């Protein structure tokens, strides 16, 4: 069976050494030595400051929303955040969980990211933030979004779950917005088994969030505010340090798979449009077909040959009942979500498998 993705397993010998250190120190959580080391190394590797490690990517979003004040406790009306329906459910469900109403605006038909041209019409007196998604690691139109946010005094939290290591115009894509969140789930390009991070623009937001993820505690006998338990533990950090040590090998293998797909399929399917100034991480290979029926047939054909491709992201989130509202329904997102498949991309996928998968897709598309 060829899955759509597979966790990267680093050197067991190196992992054992990190675990031996955990046993020697007898320190499993609460900002241990490995969490501190991973924080420093990720800031250096990614070229960012004010990075906070957390226990998963969904909590990264929730903590960012709380830290930046999306839910005003004294507000009479329910706060709103403008976001995209073409994303993983956690982007919107985390808003809903925090008492913030997601307001969906349509996407760009080429990049598949939020179209800034649709944002201003969706802004109301209750709008607190914009939550765009760097879809499949592709850069949103960050300058346009940041400009709108400044003019309307809105916070911007980028869901950058797929954008680990991505650079735009020579700098980390994670530097844009008031915060950018990352997922370190097992299937991500960089992972800690489970885990995540928030990159804040301002140090004071980092310091507030640091207390927030530890129940709001600021010392042995001081509890300053409402908090939650969202800390990363030492075992997660150990896995992350090992994976980070081997990132270049992992990146090269994924890039090889990605470019072989591109060479084989560029004339048969539509690929995601990306800005020229993007330094991509090759984390995903999504393809869009002419019709939904064609996408479904390709997925079924691949499955018959033990290859799993995923309809990612499907369905478009405006169609999810508990997220729905009376707002105008995005039509581009609904259409594109119905026609996209993500193909297998992971370290260890052979050239022969990529060629075989590509041929089966072209056979259906002819």
Residue 75 pLDDT level (bands cut at 50, 70, 90) = low
Higher-confidence position of 218 and 179:
179
Phi, psi of 217 (to 5 degrees): -80, 135
pLDDT at 326 over 60: no
Lowest mean per-residue pLDDT among 24-28, 287-291, 327-331: 327-331
CA quadruple 290, 295, 296, 298: dihedral positive or negative? positive
pLDDT at 219: 76
Higher-confidence position of 72 and 229:
229
pLDDT at 179: 98
Q: What is the pLDDT of residues 138-148, one digit of tens each?
A: 999 999 999 99
pLDDT at 314 over 80: yes
Q: Which residues contact 262 (CB under 8 A, 6 or more apart)?
A: 271, 285
Residue 191 pLDDT level (bands cut at 50, 70, 90) = very high
**Which of 140, 155, 170 is CA-nearest to residue 47?**
170
Q: How long, in residues, is the chain?
A: 366
Mean pLDDT of the chain: 95
pLDDT at 74: 56
Q: What is the pLDDT of residues 337-352, one digit of tens each?
A: 999 999 999 999 999 9
Higher-confidence position of 113 and 322:
113
pLDDT at 89: 97
Rounded Cα distance between 68 and 61, Å, is 11
Query: Is it true that the peptide bond before 182 is cis, omega within 30 degrees of 0?
Result: no
Lowest mean per-residue pLDDT among 26-35, 219-228, 234-243: 219-228
Residue 231 pLDDT level (bands cut at 50, 70, 90) = very high
pLDDT at 325 over 70: no
**Which of 95, 181, 80, 175 is CA-nearest to residue 129?**
80
pLDDT at 84: 97
- Please name each of the domains of the chain with its CATH number: 12-244 (3.40.640.10), 246-365 (3.90.1150.10)
pLDDT at 76 over 60: no
3-state secondary structure of 181: strand
DSSP output for 217-276: B-STT-B-S---B-PPPHHHHHHHHHHHHTHHHHHHHHHHHHHHHHHHHTTTSBPPP--T
Report, as an integer, the average pLDDT of 173-182.
Answer: 98
Report, as an integer, the average pLDDT of 42-61.
Answer: 98
pLDDT at 329: 74
Residue 218 pLDDT level (bands cut at 50, 70, 90) = confident
Distances (CA, A) of 68 to 129, 137, 209, 270: 9, 24, 9, 38
285 close to 4: Cβ distance less than 8 angstroms: no
Rounded Cα distance between 361 and 289, Å, is 10
Residue 155 pLDDT level (bands cut at 50, 70, 90) = very high
Both tokens of 94, joined, read: 């985390």
Distances (CA, A) of 281 to 1, 10, 252, 313: 25, 19, 10, 19
């Amino acid at each position: 069976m060829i899955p759509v993705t597979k966790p990267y397993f680093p050197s067991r010998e190196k992992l054992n050494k990190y675990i031996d250190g955990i046993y020697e120190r007898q320190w499993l959580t609460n900002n241990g030595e490995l969490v501190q080391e991973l924080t420093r190394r990720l800031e250096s590797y990614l070229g960012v400051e004010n990075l906070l490690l957390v226990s998963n990517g969904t909590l990264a979003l929730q903590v960012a929303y709380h830290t930046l004040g999306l839910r005003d406790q004294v507000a009479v009306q329910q706060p709103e955040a403008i976001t995209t329906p073409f994303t993983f459910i956690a982007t919107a469900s985390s808003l809903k969980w925090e008492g913030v109403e997601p307001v969906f605006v349509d996407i760009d038909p080429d990049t598949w990211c939020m179209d800034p041209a649709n944002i201003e019409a969706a802004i109301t007196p209750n709008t607190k933030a914009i939550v765009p998604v760097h879809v499949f690691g592709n850069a949103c139109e960050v300058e346009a979004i940041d400009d709108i946010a400044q003019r309307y005094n809105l916070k911007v939290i980028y869901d950058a779950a797929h954008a680990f290591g991505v650079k735009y115009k020579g700098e980390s894509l994670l530097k844009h917005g008031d915060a950018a969140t990352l997922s370190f789930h097992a299937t991500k390009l960089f992972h800690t088994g489970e885990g995540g991070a928030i990159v804040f623009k301002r140090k004071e937001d980092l310091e507030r969030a640091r207390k927030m993820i530890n129940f709001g505690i600021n010392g042995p006998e001081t509890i300053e505010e409402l908090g939650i338990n969202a800390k990363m533990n030492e075992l997660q950090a150990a896995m992350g340090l090992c994976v980070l040590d081997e990132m270049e090998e992992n990146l090269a293998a994924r890039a090889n798979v990605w470019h072989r797909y591109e060479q084989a399929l560029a004339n048969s399917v539509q690929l995601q449009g990306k800005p020229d100034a993007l330094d991509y991480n090759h984390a995903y290979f999504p393809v869009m077909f002419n019709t939904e029926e064609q996408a479904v047939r390709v997925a079924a054909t691949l499955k018959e040959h033990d290859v799993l491709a995923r309809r990612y992201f499907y369905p478009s989130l405006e169609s999810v009942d508990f997220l729905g509202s009376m707002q105008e329904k995005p039509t581009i997102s609904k259409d594109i979500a119905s026609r996209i498949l993500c193909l297998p991309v992971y370290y260890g996928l052979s050239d022969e498998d990529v060629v075989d998968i590509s041929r089966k897709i072209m056979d259906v598309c002819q």
